[in-house]
Structure 1
Amino acid sequence: MTQPDPTPASPTSAAPDLPLYSPARVRELLTRHGLRPTKSLGQNFLIDGNILRAIAQAGGADVGVPVLEVGPGLGVLTREIASRGARVTALEKDERLRPVLAETLAGVDVEVVWGDALDFDYASLPAGTRVIANLPYYITGVLLSRFMHAPNILSATVLVQKEVGQRLAAHPGGDHYGFLSALAALHGTVRHVRDVPKGAFLPAPDVTSSVVRLDFDRSRPLPDPAFLRFVEAALHHRRKTLRNNLRLHGLEVGRVGAALEAAGLRADVRAEDVALADLARVAGELGVVQAGGVIR
Structure 2
Amino acid sequence: MPHPDPDSSSAPLSGERDLRLAPLYSPARVRELLTRHGLRPTKSLGQNFLIDGNILRAIAKAGGAAPGVPVLEIGPGLGVLTREIATRGAQVTALEKDERLRPVLDETLDGLDVQIVWGDALDFDYAALPPGTRVIANLPYYITGLLLSRFMRAPGIVSATVLVQKEVGQRLAAQPGGDNYGFLSAIAALYGTVRHVRDVPKGAFLPAPDVTSSVIRLDFDRTRAAPEPEFLTFVETALHHRRKTLRNNLRLAGLAGEAIDGALAACGLRPDVRAEDVPLGNLRDMAVKLGVVR
Aligned residues: 282
Describe the SS at the equivalent of 1:155.
strand
Match of 1:294 in 2: none
CA distance in 1, matches of 2:256, 2:123: 39
1:83 aligns with 2:87: yes
Q: Counterparts of 1:89 and 1:289 in 2: how far apart (Å)?
A: 37
Q: Is the 8 A contact 1:169 1:191 kept in 2?
A: yes
Give the corresponding residue for 1:208.
212
State the partner residue of 1:281. 285
**CA–CA distance in 2 between the matches of 1:41 and 1:212?**
21
Secondary structure of the residue that 1:131 maps to in structure 2? strand
Partner of 1:98: 102
Query: What is the TM-score normalised by the length of structure 2?
Result: 0.94
Alignment of 1:253 with 2:257, yes or no, is yes
Q: Which amino acid aligns with 1:195?
A: D
Structure 2 residue identity aligned to 1:43? Q
Correspondence for 2:225: 221
How far is 1:127 from its partner? 1.2
Task: Tell me the residue number matched to 1:149.
Answer: 153
Instruction: State whether structure 2 residue 138 is matched by structure 1 residue 134.
Output: yes
Normalising by the residue count of structure 1, what TM-score does the alignment of the two structures yield? 0.93
1:30 is paired with a residue whose SS is helix
Following superposition, the deviation at residue 239 of structure 1 comes to: 1.2
Matched, 1:118 2:122: yes
Q: CA deviation at 1:200?
A: 0.5
List alignment gaps of at least 5 residues for structure 2.
Answer: 5-16
Match of residue 192, structure 1, among 187, 196, 201: 196
CA RMSD of superposed structures (Å): 1.1
- How far residue 16 of structure 1 moved from its aligned partner, in angstroms, is 3.1
Please tell me whether residue 266 in structure 1 is matched to residue 270 in structure 2: yes
- CA-CA distance at 1:124 after TM superposition: 1.4
Cα 1:260–1:97 shift into 2, 3 Å: same
Runs of 4+ in 1 over 4 A off after TM superposition: 9-14
1:11, distance to aligned residue in structure 2 (A): 6.3
> What SS class does the counterpart of residue 15 from structure 1 fall into?
helix
Q: CA offsets, 1:208-227, max 9 Å, x none?
A: 00000000000011111011
Runs (5+) with no aligned partner, structure 1: 1-8, 291-296
Q: Distance in 2 between matches of 1:235 and 1:51?
A: 34
Per-residue CA deviations over 1:138-177 (Å, capped at 9, x if unaligned) read: 1111111111111000000000001100000001011100
- Please report how far the alpha carbon of residue 266 of structure 1 lies from its aligned counterpart in structure 2 after TM superposition: 0.7
8 Å Cα contact 1:21/1:48 also seen in 2: yes
Specify the code of the residue in structure 1 equivalent to 2:227. P
Q: Percent identity?
A: 79
Which whole-Å CA distance do the structure 2 matches of 1:104 and 1:69 have between them? 15
Per-residue CA distance 1:257-286 (angstroms, 9 max, x = gap): 110000111111111110000000011110
